[in-house]
Structures are given as C-alpha cells and as structure tokens.
Structure 1
Amino acid sequence: MIATLFLTFIILLILEAPVSFSLLISTVVSMFFFSDIDLFAIVVKMFRASSNFSLIAVPFFILAGGFMDSGGISRRLVTFASNIIGHIRGGLANASVMAAMFFAGLSGAAAADTAAVGSLLIPAMKRKGYGKDIATSVMATAGSIGIVIPPSIPMIILGVTASISIGGMFMGGIIPGILIGVSLMAVNIIYTKIRKIDPEPRASFREMLRSFADSFLALFTVVIIVGGITAGIFTATEASVIAALYAFIIGFFVYKELSFKDLPHVLVKSALTTGVVVLTIAAAASFGWVLAAEQIPSQIANFLVSLTDNRWILLILINILFLVLGTFLDPSAIIIIVVPIIWPVVQELGVHPIHFGVMAIVNMAVGQCTPPVGVALFVASGISGAKLSDMMGTYLRYLGAMVLVLLFVTFIPALSLWIPELTGYIK
C-alpha cells in the first residue's frame, strides 16, 4: 500500500500535476486497491483538517497582501528602503532585500513578497546593469524571508499541526529573518564589488524624511500585528483580520490608490491563492492519515533515533530531510505530512517546540527558492525572464548564505528563543 502511495505520488509530480492533486490522487488510489475503508473517510479527514479556527488567518493575511500591493503600500516600502541603503555598495540589490523584509512583516507569504517587491525592483536592477542572474537570485531568496519574519502563513499551519504557540514562533522568527536579510546583503556587496556596479546616489535627508513619512502608515502595520499579538490584545488569527482591514483603509481612504474596480481582482486572486493553500492542507492531511495508519511515522522516528542519540546530529538529519523535501513539496504539505512523523523524535531530544518550529520554517524558506518547485524562484524568474541554467552559479551563492543562517539557527537556539522569552511566550 505504501509503495503504491509513494510511487503514484512521485509519478504525478514528475508529470507536473499540482502537489495537492498528487497527494489526493495517490491517497485515493492506494486506499481503493489496498484498504477496505470507505473512501468517504478521506472527505471527512480533509474537512476536519481544513476547518481549524486558526487557519482563518491564512485567507486574511493573503487578502492583506493583496490590498497592500494594489493600494500602493509595497511601492512606498520599496522607495523608503532604496532611500535608506541604496547608496551603500550593493545599492538596489540591498534595497530589494530590505523592502522584502519590510513586506515580509505584512504579507506572511513568500510568493506575495517576491511578486510585490520584485515587480518593482527586478526591472530597476536590470536597467542598472546587475544582470538577470543577480536580480533574480536576490529577489527569489529575499522573497523567501516572507515566511520567516512574522506574520507567517506556514507558521500558522505548523502551530495548528504540532500545537506549538503561533505567537511564540512569530516572535522567534524575527532574529533569523533579519540574519537572512543581512547575509543576502553581504553577498550583494561582494558581487557588486566584483562586477563594479556603482551604488545609487545618496538620498538627501529631506528625501529620506519624505519617504519615511509617506511609508509610515505602511510600516505601522508591523507594529499593529506584532505589538498586538505580543501585548495579548489579539491572537494571530485576529491579527490577520485587523491587518486586512487596516491595509484596505490605508490603501482606499489614505493613499487612495485602491479603488472599487480593484476589489474584484484582489478578492478573486486572494480566494484562488487561499483555495490552493487550503486544498494542499486538506490533501496532505489525508495522505498523512494513510501514513499514520501504516505506522510509517513511528518507524521513521525509531530509525532516526537508532542512528544516533546525539541531539545535534539528529537535528542535522532532520534539516537534511526538510531541505530535500523542500525541493519538491509545498511547505503546507511538508508540515502536515512530515512534522507528525518527526515530532516524537524532537520531543525525545528535548528540543524546545519554538526552536524546532523556527528551524523548520527557515528550512522551508530555503525550499521556497530551491528548484524544481521553489515558488519564490519561479515568481522572480518569471518577472526577470532569466533561465535557471544561466543563473545557477550566482544563485547557489545566495542559497548558500541562507543555509549558513539555517545552521546558526539550528545550533544556537537563543537566536529563535530570546525574543519569545522576553515577550513571555517562554516561562
């Protein structure tokens, strides 16, 4: 049964079927031929997996990202970031990273982050002579920060799946997200020095002040989301609704760039994206249910423990597992299928749940920009028109910087636990 399940799944992925359909069809095929259980049980399992209250945050954060993009918020963030650090070696590339970090605090999704910032800065980098390889590499990796810095849709799904504090993971992702941004900027500086690309002219103090004032309300969204959750004013789920409402008010009434004619497009796009995410969650739940019924999770857990009893070696093995799966699976699928498998191992190691959660999310951020399924990579390359074969040498340097941060997060738990401790999520 398990052989049929995985074989069908792999064949469908090779045929480029959507991950959600691959998961669901392989589950149905394996149960139809090898189980006496009514297939209607799959529907029940899918419904239960997708009806968790905390998942309400997913469509609202996606909607908030749509309002921000159409309402001029993302453009203002890009301008502000460019004025702050555009004059430093790396210029527009560093501004792209900083803008992506700003937008990460608003959208919660790597694809939205990459598209919103990349559509503005990738063409600008190409005109400045950065080349398609650098422009695409910078934006794909920087866009992946969208799921590390709070809010984060994968963190919500992970929190629901493993009963880990979502607010705690939100706080724990701040330092790793900043470290990824800094590491990418370091690569930018090295590359632009080698290729002798001049930075942007220094913005005047008046221009900086004007762009800060223009983007202040956009930046204040982060304060509302993170501050509200930290202060206990509202939950992560409630924060998503507030973020969407705030983004609509700012874009429609203050900036006046969001109009009624934009609403159908934003709502439909948000609904389609939500549908893909939730269907993947539901399909992955049924797939994971079959694995659990065949006791695959416990077997894998026992196998990992049998290899070594050293905590750090096991964490490396878990990282490798996540990194490999991240090259062809969506974060939602990885979380729902794999986390229940390795969660017993993690608990046995004594790893703090928030540390594990943040480590897993950073892993998935790497996966979001790793071929063949890296969504951020393909959004960025779609904007730039770059072929993967022409940019791989450059791209691997940026990817290596992210993996280096992953190692720091894995072996220095304080990077993901310090802020949760300060904010009371760890007693």
Structure 2
Amino acid sequence: MTSAPMNRRKFVALSGLSVTAAALSGCGLLGNKSGGAGDEKAINFYHWRAEDKQVFDQLIKQFKAANAGYDVTMTILPSQNYQSTALQKIKDGTAGDVFTAFRGAQFEQIAKAGVFTDLSGATFVSNYQPHVIEPGAKDGKQLGLPYQLVFNMPVYNVELFDKAGVGDLPEDWKGFLSLCEKLKGLGVAPIAFPGGDAANAGQLFNCMVMNEMPEADSCRKIEMGKAKVTDDWFLRVLTRYEDLATMGAFQEGSAGTKTEQAIQMWAQAKAAMLATGTFHIGAARQQGAAFKVNLIGPITTDAGKATYEGVHNSTFILGVNAKSAKQEAARKWVEFLSGKPAAEAYANGTVQHLTVKDLTYTNADLAATAGWATRKTLLAPRFQFDDLDIRNAVENACTQVATGTAKPAQAAEEAQKIISQRLGTS
C-alpha cells in the first residue's frame, strides 16, 4: 500500500495479474483447470484485494521457498465484480482452488452451492480466535476462515481533532453533533462520505443502527418481513442522518462522491473523518496521509443509553474449493497464510487487523487501533441482510437522507415498497 493513488479498476487493468478482459466479462479465467498448467501443486488464489498484491507476491515467494515444487498464481477482481460474479467462476473448479468470500450474502450463496471444503478438522483452524471466525461457520462446520478483522466505523485524523479542541470522544448524539460543529470551524468537512458508491456509503449505516436496533437481529427481521423500515426505530435512524445533512457534516456534493474521492479528501486533511473503516487507512497512506489516526463510533443515543461503542466485521473468508482437484496444495496455502509469520507480514504490510491469534502489530496504524479489538463492538449489522436488493433499498434510504435528496418518512416509504415487492407482500 504505497506510492501513487490507484483505484482498484486501474490496478487490475495495469498490473501484471492473470486477469484478462475475458475474465472480467465472464467469458473465462486464466489457464486450464484452476492453477494453470494442470500441475497438482500449482494452485490459483482468487480474491478482490488488488491493493494487497505486492504483499501477497512476497508471501507467495516465501511459500514457494518453504514448499519446493508448489506455486500460487492470483486472479484479482474489483470487489464489486467479485461480489456479483465469483460464485459462477469458482463452482465449476476452473478458478479459485483457494478463494475468498464476503461475510453475509456471498458466504451463504457459496455455502449453499456446496463449494466450500469443510475445514473443521484442519489443525491450522486452532491458530484463529474462535469468537471472530464464527461468520465462516455454518451448520456446525467451519467452511471458511475469516482472515480480516475490520472495523466498519469512521476513522479520524487525530491532529484535526486535537486542533478542534476535542478531548474525550462524545458519548451521545448531541456530543457528536457538537464535535462536527467544532470541526467545521476549522474549515474542513467533518465527514467525508462516499454517497456515490453504494458499497461504501452503507458502511456508516453500521454505526448509525448499532444502538438503535430494538433487537440484535433487527436488520435480519426487516429481510424476513418481521420488521419494517417505517418502524419508529428506523425512522429515528433516518432522522439522525438528516441531522448530519442539515448541519453540513458531509462534504458538498457527497451524493456523487466515489470512495476514491472520499479517501483522497481525508488523506489531504480536507475532511476530519472518513465514513468507511480501517480497510481504507492503507489507501489513504498511499495518497500521502501522514497524520495519526484512530476510530470513532458515532453514538446516536442519549448519554448512558448506548450498548455498543463501535462495529467490527470478520471478512475476507478464506475457503478451499470443494470442486478443485488440488485439495492438498490448496490446504497447504491456507495453512501457510494461517501461520503467525505470514499473518504478521500480511497484517503489517496491508494495514489490516487479522483474526489469527497473538499477532504483533509493528504498523503504527494497527497499533493505534488495536485496542478496539477488546472494546464493546457489534458484528456489522449491514451484513445481516442476505438479499442484496433489500440491503440496497435499506441503505439507499439512508444515503438519500444523508445527501438531502429525500426526507426520512419519504425515504422509508419508498424503501419499504421495494422490500415488500421483493418479499411478495406488497
């Protein structure tokens, strides 16, 4: 994660990855059966983290040096493409001897298709913290290993907070709005919000609902038709978004801001907070950000009423492809990544907290935010939705209010119509 800014699409287009136009268009993937040359020790690793390529290249070299005759090639797609097309690419075994999955809808789809090899009996599973790899388990089996422990909550510029006279982080909604006013007084946008990118505009949703949901699975209940976005609790969430929009907490033109633009704003200290998560700290460093960082979970309740301080997610779920004929080599690569030396190299090289036990973080950003692993955080609720159409409708309602294109009641009604149609209850 160094050098000049480069978004994922440009990276894939320009780098020396084994990703062709045919692969991106759905016409085919690299080589013969996954792994390329038919060698039982040559496997393909399929994922979406283009920004991690340099670190993975080094890990592959180390893996090959320690395991004579083995080889790993990578196929990397942009995350949005990966989410929509990965299953069809891996289920016939032509790519992804080892693959990754997003927590939630994609994991469930791949599990249902029978593409995960059960890893429950693998010795390397014990290398992981049990409570954070549960999103990779289903029906009593450990189908995949969530590798990354991310915090889907705003990251902030410590220097701007200090300059604005911010001491302790606010513990209620009035305090958070006051914080935003102080930051506005510096002439910067309090929050860089990627309203033009649905995948990341929805990250703020996690914190906005974490202390408002009447039940731990309220988002799942919306998808089941047992709750509605027109319910009082969700209307209150939308009202909080309206508060932020009304007081100018988001940058001008936030409705059209893409994630790369929001990261750049934050990296250039034109915004004090970036409303995505720890997974974009490295990208900001690529763009020259030199300030200290930390995390903040907006508390939407009155003082003393909050249950959670922030949000975490276990994702980048490593899986061995049950359709692959190269099970032994695939398991060996996952075992290598699960070891402490490789995990520490990956974590510190990519600025990603991991789920592997007892890691030492030498990266300053990881060290600064590591304490959040022991704080009261909620597993990211946006991934309770398995139906992406319903999730998009819910999150779009929030984005519309945040960007001033709809009022809370109007946005809720429109979203509920889509949800009811999807559920067949309209």
Normalising by the residue count of structure 1, what TM-score does the alignment of the two structures yield? 0.27
Could you say which structure has the higher helix fraction?
1
Normalising by the residue count of structure 2, what TM-score does the alignment of the two structures yield? 0.27
Could you say which structure has the higher strand fraction?
2
